[in-house]
Amino acid sequence: MINAIDVTNLNYSYPDGTKALDGIDIKIEEGEKTVIVGPNGAGKTTLFLHLNGTLKSQGKNVSIFGRNISEMAIEERIREIGIIFQDPDDQLFMPTVYDDIAFGPLNMGLENKEVDEKVKKALSIVGLEGFEDKVPHHLSYGQKKKVAMASVLSMEPKILVIDEPTANLDPRSRKELIKLINKLNKNQGITIIMATHDVNALPQLSDRVYVLNHKIIAQGSPREIFSDSTVLKENNLEAPDVFKLFKVLGFFGYDYDTLPLSIDEAIEELTKTIETNNGHIHLHIHEHTHQNIRDFINNNDHHH
Question: pLDDT by residue (tens digit) across 131-190?
Answer: 999 999 899 999 999 999 999 999 999 999 999 999 999 999 999 999 999 999 999 999
Query: How many domains does the chain contain in total?
Result: 2
Answer yes or no: do 19 and 108 share one domain. yes
Q: How many Cα neighbours within 13 Å face the side chain of 100?
A: 29
Domain-terminating residue out of 206, 234, 262: 234
Answer yes or no: do 173 and 49 share one domain. yes
Is residue 110 in some structural domain? yes
Instruction: Write down the pLDDT at residue 302.
Output: 52
- How many Å apart are CA 229 and CA 245, to the nearest integer? 15
Answer yes or no: do 175 and 194 share one domain. yes
Answer yes or no: do 169 and 52 share one domain. yes
Q: Does residue 57 sit in helix, strand or coil?
A: coil
Is residue 123 in some structural domain? yes
Is residue 304 in some structural domain? no
Is residue 39 in some structural domain? yes
Domain-terminating residue out of 200, 219, 234: 234
- How many Å apart are CA 211 and CA 44, to the nearest integer? 10
Instruction: Write down the pLDDT at residue 304.
Output: 41
- Enumerate residue ranges in the chain where pLDDT < 70: 301-304
Answer yes or no: do 176 and 196 share one domain. yes
Answer yes or no: do 17 and 58 share one domain. yes
Answer yes or no: do 28 and 140 share one domain. yes
Answer yes or no: do 223 and 95 share one domain. yes
Is residue 164 in some structural domain? yes
* Beta-bridge mates of residue 210: 36, 219
Contacts of 143 (CB under 8 A, 6+ apart): 128, 131
CATH number for the domain harbouring residue 88:
3.40.50.300
Domain-terminating residue out of 179, 206, 234: 234
Is residue 21 in some structural domain? yes
Lay out the sheet containing 208-213: strands in order across.
81-84, 159-163, 191-195, 33-37, 208-213, 215-220
Answer yes or no: do 159 and 275 share one domain. no
188-210: pLDDT as tens digits: 999 999 999 999 999 889 999 99
* Domain coverage including residue 258: 241-299
Answer yes or no: do 265 and 214 share one domain. no
Answer yes or no: do 199 and 281 share one domain. no
Answer yes or no: do 254 and 291 share one domain. yes
Is residue 259 in some structural domain? yes
